[in-house]
Structure 1
Amino acid sequence: MTAVHGPRQVHGVTLNVDVQPGEGVPLLLCNGIGANVELLQPLVDDLHVQGGRRMPVIRFDMPGTGGSPTTRLPRRMHRWARMVADLVTDLGYDEVDVLGISWGGALAQEFAHRHPRLCRRLVLCATSMGMVMVPARPSVLLTLASPLRYFGPSHLRETGRRIYGGGFGSDPTLAARFATHTRAPDPLGYYWQIAAGVGWTSAHYLPHLPQRVLLLAGDDDPIIPTVNAHLMARLLRHGRLHVVRGGGHLALLTHAAEVVPLVHDFLTDGETTS
């Protein structure tokens, strides 16, 4: 697996792609709405110190975030999933594991559904079935309707306290570290991501997904109420749910000591090491 960092033409769009080499099946990360690849660097670092070998990781900025320019027109979720499939094959892989967070969890589900031969295992963090879900409070949804929280550390701390849960706002070190890695998205690209989710749902195909699925949810997540993870677990044939006590929407980062070993063990279960 060769290291890659920089722009790449995929499915008619330019994506900022970061590939960190390692051994085994690559892990493809699908980020939350408006979030850039650097925000998941702590997760990548934690995964690399697990289990005695370096896990290969593929990251990319959605158009309008980080280093990826905004597309001229919006696209539906199935077209973004096609883009992800093209990225995987363009990089030379015939199989990946996928970890999706929040909005990226929706993209990960769509990718697993439409391109099952490319997706071996699936990790879904703080996500839902889209339109068929128990929604957040109206005040939280209103905040999410704008990318303002990404524009400066003060906005991030103030809104994070209200919408991320899990003690995010009470930990100034965590908020400052998160803000340091944040790159404000292009507002149009942010709204294109919102548009992709309008009318989308995975409820009709979740029972038919062939992949093994690990669901991760915090019990203090104002954006995606925990009941959504329980509903998804009931539908999945090969699903397993882990609820992070005291975890919020960003439990993957705030509770890494608990969550990262679970993710690593799930992805490497059954593999042999030389």
Structure 2
Amino acid sequence: MTGTRRVGGVSLRVDVSPGEGTPLLLCNGIGANLELLQPLVDDLAGRPGRRVPVIRFDMPGTGGSPTTRLPRRMPGLARMLAGLVTGLGYDEVDVLGISWGGALAQEFAHRNPRLCRRVVLCATSMGMVMVPAKPSVLLTLASPLRYFGPAHMRETGSRIYGGGFGDDAAVAAHFAAATRAPDPIGYYWQILAGAGWTSAPYLCRLRQRVLLIAGDDDPIIPAVNARLMAKLLRHGTVHIVRGGGHLALLTHAAELVPLIHDFVTEGEPPC
């Protein structure tokens, strides 16, 4: 079910897939539209046991969500997400954040401990307090150019995503077909939201169980960041994907989807 929701003065394109029990809220990477995570949604739906409901949304300026006039900081975006979740009628969700979306997921979990039950963080970091990527990779990420046409995605994807992205024809084809180029202003609003942000001061206070997933061939977020975060978390578990890159959720789905499904359904009766 895909439609538009008005949350705190912001219009968001939202998709909710059916299921039972606690929904999983997906926070995508910078500039990425919700269709890019369709393989993950399909794979989760195909797992035996409880079918997990999944909530996806386009950030302002990506996919079908219009760009806001002014940028919002990460705390404001976390409040926006809380309004989205409660507006959909849920009183509890699990959250999964990828890359930039992992920062948003951390802020959401920190500010909404009663609304957020469990957290999955993929290819992400503590923000400003992190082991950074190489300058050449950061320079590429500073522009949304890679989203403008399959040729740009193939050329930059193999260089910055790692994990065999350029060698996986199926993943590359899906990206080419599913990508909707973001509004450049919306893209830069997302960069500004993360500028100066860090979760380091509050990670040790998070009550939720947290699963950290990192690829050992991720040029954007080195895997050491997940290990550092786990040392600060009360209930943090790290899973390192051997040969996995920044998009390991898609390139190594056979390994990661069962792990994520078991994590968010543990302790719940199968349906």
What is the TM-score with the length of structure 2 in the denominator? 0.99
Secondary structure of 1:18 counterpart: strand
Instruction: Give the equivalent residue in structure 1 for 2:181.
Output: 184
Structure 1 counterpart of 2:89, from 89, 92, 100: 92
Q: 1:26 and 1:54 mapped to 2: Cα distance?
A: 10
Q: 1:145 and 1:137 mapped to 2: Cα distance?
A: 13
Note the alpha carbon deviations across 1:60-82, whole angstroms, 9 max, x for none: 00000000000000010000000
Letter in 2 for 1:169: G
Note the alpha carbon deviations across 1:41-77, whole angstroms, 9 max, x for none: 0000000011233210100000000000000000100
CA shift at 1:272, angstroms? 1.3
CA shift at 1:8, angstroms? 1.1
2:234 pairs with 1:268: no
Instruction: Give the equivalent residue in structure 2 for 1:77.
Output: 74
Q: 2:226 and 2:181 mapped to 1: Cα distance?
A: 29
CA-atom RMSD, angstroms?
0.8
Letter in 2 for 1:247: G
Structure 1 residue runs of 4+, over 3 Å off?
Answer: none
Instruction: Give the equivalent residue in structure 2 for 1:29.
Output: 26
Note the alpha carbon deviations across 1:239-266, whole angstroms, 9 max, x for none: 0000000000000010000000000001
CA shift at 1:11, angstroms? 1.3
Q: 1:246 and 1:11 mapped to 2: Cα distance?
A: 41
Instruction: Give the equivalent residue in structure 1 for 2:49.
Output: 52
Instruction: Give the equivalent residue in structure 2 for 1:233.
Output: 230
Instruction: Give the equivalent residue in structure 1 for 2:256.
Output: 259
Q: 1:154 and 1:269 mapped to 2: Cα distance?
A: 42
Instruction: Give the equivalent residue in structure 1 for 2:159.
Output: 162
CA shift at 1:177, angstroms? 1.5
2:46 pairs with 1:43: no
* Percent identical: 80
Q: 1:52 and 1:90 mapped to 2: Cα distance?
A: 28
Q: 2:158 and 2:218 mapped to 1: Cα distance?
A: 11
Aligned ranges 1:107-146 → 2 under 5 Å: 107-146=104-143
Instruction: Give the equivalent residue in structure 2 for 1:208.
Output: 205
Note the alpha carbon deviations across 1:187-220, whole angstroms, 9 max, x for none: 0000000000001000010010000000000000
Secondary structure of 1:81 counterpart: helix
Letter in 2 for 1:261: P
Q: 2:22 and 2:202 mapped to 1: Cα distance?
A: 25
Secondary structure of 2:94 counterpart: strand
Note the alpha carbon deviations across 1:81-117, whole angstroms, 9 max, x for none: 0000000000000000000000000000000000110
Letter in 2 for 1:228: N
2:163 pairs with 1:171: no
Q: 2:235 and 2:50 mapped to 1: Cα distance?
A: 27
Does the Cα contact within 8 Å between 2:35 and 2:179 map onto a contact in 1? yes
2:220 pairs with 1:223: yes
CA shift at 1:170, angstroms? 1.8
Does the Cα contact within 8 Å between 2:109 and 2:206 map onto a contact in 1? yes
Q: Which sections of structure 1, spanning at least 5 residues, go unmatched?
A: none
Secondary structure of 2:26 counterpart: strand
CA shift at 1:179, angstroms? 1.2
Q: Which sections of structure 2, spanning at least 5 residues, go unmatched?
A: none
Secondary structure of 1:33 counterpart: coil
CA shift at 1:136, angstroms? 0.3
Q: 2:168 and 2:248 mapped to 1: Cα distance?
A: 13
Letter in 1 for 2:122: C
